[in-house]
């Protein structure tokens, strides 16, 4: 990993509870001073900002403690998984700035070993083949307050179980005909300990093992053992796995292998969006969004396309910290992080989204003046650029009011404003469409002595507006985004509704904007600040002929119209 690629940790930050555990383990010499974590996605969808949190946490700990972090695909369900997802996951982890080096692993690489582990359990009388259907198994599991019923197949002999399990592997039974179950305790208060299923029959090709297998380990049977095989010291996962931990530990102990320590933290929830892969897949499949990388999606590829940077996402992950209790993070915090990052690095340009034509009556007809504009006031080394200025300009419609009421410091009849990096102008008259009454153009005069550096340039005027020269401006498609959902927590739908009912019909608005000509050479994912409006990123659809920009985030906590 590049040294300067990861934002330095906030100095003086106190340890989070996971770091405390790790440091205690290092002090006591557990694991021989090793720290080894992993990020274990199931390749059944694209990664989202919640996964980014987990990636930053796992790789961050690896880095902080001079340890290692594996990328491991928990690919135990061939029905839902695909190489498309594997590829996207690798791309996203890399893009976030993390490096698993040569440690790219797959649970499917361990299928033979896992099969052997299952045989160990069978030989110890700790697992059995059960012929009950999935429905029967769930009906006999009982409830948290009522014990389950033992399977009539629970007391098969070891030999019979070994024989049946090998026939399951040989493909002699159809899907669902038999399962292998751990033999633990049907009256355990922990439902996950009530003879959980550890293997099932699925006659489906796997994206890596092809048709080698028709029995597949359940996630719980693969995950902990994979951690153990890889000698993971701290297996960090989200809170819903806390109730799985006794089973995780039970398996490791009964099989008799290296024991990683599972530690749970609260998953990241973000307001105004959904995060479950199933729901994100539904949004894609039902075309509520244009794809996994639709800039409104909370996916990493969506955020990337929108114009988010890895630095902003890492900073966000760091800022929210690690919690033990579920909570919802305000999406404004994510937006704050990207604003902060782009403020430091995005060049400023001028672009007008809702044009109103200004004519400077006293400006020579064919004159074009090159005005000097500062690229980034936060970063003097970004230099200056030339912006053409001419007789006809566009300003934002909302920066002019014919009959201003109260405090309106922008352009209105008889009033002066400054045009950024150019002159002070004064509004002289308004020309309207005789039929609609709509303002067609606003006539102004400019004061030639107010160009920057000139004696009058410091004259006090209250408003400063952005502008573009009509004949030099480039037309661009501008995509403006609002929240994907209209409510903070769309998962929490009221009776008779689903999260789909809360989709925001106005989450995408497409406009034609007029941008200064310096942007001509931009490339996809280039980032700019459109002065006074927000940060914009060049979309993948953009070409030299048809520029397309995504609004990453507005300058302030409001949306451009």
Q: Which is nearer to ligand ATP, 289 or 395 (CB)?
A: 289
Judged by CB under 6 A, which stretch of 1-9, 136-144, 156-164, 268-276 contacts ligand ATP?
268-276
Binding to ligand ATP by residue 275, rule CB under 6 A?
yes
| Rounded least distance, CB 331 to ligand ATP, Å | 14
- Residue 211 CA to residue 357 CA, distance in Å, equals 67
Question: What residues are paired with 394 via a beta bridge?
Answer: 357, 468
Contact 346, 309 (CB under 8 A): no
| Rounded least distance, CB 45 to ligand ATP, Å | 7
Q: Which is nearer to ligand ATP, 56 or 444 (CB)?
A: 56
Location of structure tokens 């969808």:
45
Q: Which is nearer to ligand ATP, 268 or 519 (CB)?
A: 268
Task: Show contacts with ligand ATP in window 364-403 (CB under 6 A).
Answer: none
Comparing every residue's Cβ against ligand ATP, the nearest one is 50
Q: Which is nearer to ligand ATP, 244 or 483 (CB)?
A: 244
Judged by CB under 6 A, which stretch of 270-278, 327-335, 455-463, 542-550 contacts ligand ATP?
270-278
> CB pairs under 8 A, 24+ apart, for 525-529?
525/304, 525/307, 527/307, 527/309, 527/342, 527/345, 527/346, 527/552, 528/346, 528/347, 528/348, 528/349, 529/342, 529/343, 529/346, 529/347, 529/348, 529/349, 529/376, 529/555
Q: Which is nearer to ligand ATP, 93 or 122 (CB)?
A: 93
**Which of 183, 277, 296, 451: binder of ligand ATP (CB under 6 A)?**
277
Catalytic residue, chosen from 38, 42, 230, 483, is: 42
**Which of 276, 319, 362, 546: binder of ligand ATP (CB under 6 A)?**
276
**Which of 107, 179, 215, 268: binder of ligand ATP (CB under 6 A)?**
268
CA 328 to each of CA 55, 191, 273, 422, 484: distance values in angstroms, whole numbers, following the listed order: 19, 28, 11, 46, 16
Cβ atoms < 10 Å from Cβ of 558: 8
Location of structure tokens 């080698």:
212
As to burial, measured by CB atoms within 10 angstroms (0-12 exposed, 13-18 middle, 19+ buried), residue 143 is exposed
**Which of 126, 149, 267, 559: binder of ligand ATP (CB under 6 A)?**
267
| Rounded least distance, CB 74 to ligand ATP, Å | 6
| Rounded least distance, CB 476 to ligand ATP, Å | 35
Contact 305, 293 (CB under 8 A): yes
| Rounded least distance, CB 503 to ligand ATP, Å | 19
Contact 559, 482 (CB under 8 A): yes
- Residue 189 CA to residue 148 CA, distance in Å, equals 10
CA 392 to each of CA 5, 6, 125, 441, 504: distance values in angstroms, whole numbers, following the listed order: 45, 47, 87, 10, 38
As to burial, measured by CB atoms within 10 angstroms (0-12 exposed, 13-18 middle, 19+ buried), residue 266 is middle
Letters for 6-45 (x = contact with ligand ATP by CB under 6 A, - = none) are ----------------------------------xxx---
Ordered DSSP codes for 44-93: SS--BHHHHHHHHHHHHHHHHTT-EEEEEE----TTT--HHHHHHHHHHH
Location of structure tokens 């997802």:
85
First to last CA, the chain: 41
**Which of 140, 188, 209, 238: binder of ligand ATP (CB under 6 A)?**
238
Contact 44, 80 (CB under 8 A): yes
| Rounded least distance, CB 235 to ligand ATP, Å | 9
Q: Which is nearer to ligand ATP, 50 or 78 (CB)?
A: 50
- Residue 551 CA to residue 538 CA, distance in Å, equals 9
Q: Which is nearer to ligand ATP, 145 or 285 (CB)?
A: 285
Q: Which is nearer to ligand ATP, 205 or 276 (CB)?
A: 276
Torsion of CA 179, 185, 188, 190, to 10 degrees: -40
Catalytic residue, chosen from 34, 141, 267, 357, is: 267
| Rounded least distance, CB 238 to ligand ATP, Å | 4
| Rounded least distance, CB 167 to ligand ATP, Å | 31
Catalytic, 267? Answer: yes
Catalytic residue, chosen from 277, 305, 420, 532, is: 277
| Rounded least distance, CB 242 to ligand ATP, Å | 11
Letters for 437-476 (x = contact with ligand ATP by CB under 6 A, - = none) are ----------------------------------------
Task: Show contacts with ligand ATP in window 43-102 (CB under 6 A).
Answer: 50-51, 53-54
Size of the site for ligand ATP (CB under 6 A): 15
Q: Which is nearer to ligand ATP, 71 or 411 (CB)?
A: 71
Ordered DSSP codes for 335-348: HHHHHHHHHHHPEE
Q: Which is nearer to ligand ATP, 73 or 111 (CB)?
A: 73
**Which of 237, 283, 387, 425: binder of ligand ATP (CB under 6 A)?**
237
Contact 552, 536 (CB under 8 A): yes
Ordered DSSP codes for 107-167: GGGGHHHHHHHHHHHHHTT-EEEE---HHHHHHTT-BTTB-----TTTT--HHHHHHHHHH
Catalytic, 101? Answer: no
Binding to ligand ATP by residue 218, rule CB under 6 A?
no
Binding to ligand ATP by residue 223, rule CB under 6 A?
no
Catalytic, 277? Answer: yes
Question: What residues are paired with 349 via a beta bridge?
Answer: 530
> Which parts of this chain interact with ligand ATP (CB under 6 A)?
40-42, 50-51, 53-54, 237-238, 267-268, 275-278
Q: Which residues are catalytic?
A: 42, 267, 277
């Amino acid at each position: 990993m590049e040294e300067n690629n990861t934002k330095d940790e906030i100095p003086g930050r106190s340890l989070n509870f996971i770091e405390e555990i790790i440091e205690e383990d290092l002090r006591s010499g557990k694991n021989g001073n090793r720290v080894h974590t992993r990020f274990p996605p199931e390749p059944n969808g694209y990664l989202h900002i919640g996964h980014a949190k987990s990636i930053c946490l796992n790789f961050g700990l690896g880095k902080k403690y001079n340890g290692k972090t594996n990328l491991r695909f928990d690919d135990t369900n061939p029905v839902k998984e695909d190489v498309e997802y594997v590829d996207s996951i690798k791309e996203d982890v890399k893009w976030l700035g993390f490096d698993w080096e040569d440690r790219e692993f797959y649970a499917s690489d361990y299928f033979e070993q896992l099969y052997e582990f299952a045989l160990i359990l069978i030989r110890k009388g700790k697992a059995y083949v059960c012929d009950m259907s999935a429905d029967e198994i769930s009906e006999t599991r009982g409830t948290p307050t009522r014990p389950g019923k033992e399977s009539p197949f629970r007391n098969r002999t070891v030999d019979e179980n070994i024989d049946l399990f090998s026939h399951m592997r040989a493909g002699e039974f159809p899907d669902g005909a038999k399962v292998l179950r751990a033999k633990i305790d049907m009256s355990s208060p922990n439902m996950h300990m009530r003879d959980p299923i550890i293997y099932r029959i699925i006659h489906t090709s796997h994206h890596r093992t092809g048709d080698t297998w028709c029995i597949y380990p359940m996630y719980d049977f693969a995950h902990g053992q994979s951690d153990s095989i890889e000698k993971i010291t701290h297996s960090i996962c989200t809170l819903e796995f806390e109730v799985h931990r006794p089973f995780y530990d039970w398996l490791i102990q009964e099989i008799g292998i290296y024991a990683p320590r599972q530690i749970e933290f609260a998953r990241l929830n973000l307001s105004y969006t959904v995060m479950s892969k199933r729901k994100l897949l539904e949004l894609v499949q039902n075309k509520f969004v244009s794809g996994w990388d639709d800039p409104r999606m909370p996916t990493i590829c969506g955020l990337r396309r929108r114009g988010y940077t890895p630095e902003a996402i890492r900073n966000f992950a760091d800022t929210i910290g690690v919690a033990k209790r579920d909570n919802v993070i305000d999406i404004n915090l994510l937006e704050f992080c990207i604003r902060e990052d782009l403020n430091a690095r995005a060049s400023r340009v001028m672009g007008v989204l809702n044009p109103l034509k200004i004519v400077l009556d006293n400006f020579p007809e064919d004159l074009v003046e090159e005005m000097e504009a500062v690229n980034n006031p936060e970063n003097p080394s970004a230099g200056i650029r030339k912006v053409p200025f001419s007789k006809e300009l566009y300003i934002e419609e909302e920066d002019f009011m014919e009959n201003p009421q109260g405090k309106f410091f922008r352009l209105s009849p008889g009033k002066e404003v400054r045009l950024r990096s150019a002159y002070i102008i004064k509004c002289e008259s308004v020309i309207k469409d005789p039929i609609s009454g709509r303002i067609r153009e606003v006539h102004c005069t400019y004061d030639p002595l107010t160009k920057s550096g000139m004696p009058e340039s410091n004259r006090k005027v209250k408003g400063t507006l952005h502008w573009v020269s009509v004949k030099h401006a480039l037309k661009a498609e501008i995509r403006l985004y609002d929240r994907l959902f209209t409510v903070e927590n769309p998962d929490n739908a009221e009776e008779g509704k689903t999260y789909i009912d809360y989709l925001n019909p106005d989450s995408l608005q497409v406009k034609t904007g007029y941008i200064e000509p310096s942007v001509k050479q931009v490339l996809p994912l280039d980032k700019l600040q459109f002065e006074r409006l927000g940060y914009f990123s060049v979309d993948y659809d953009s070409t030299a002929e048809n520029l397309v920009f995504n609004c990453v985030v507005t300058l302030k906590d409001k949306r451009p119209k």
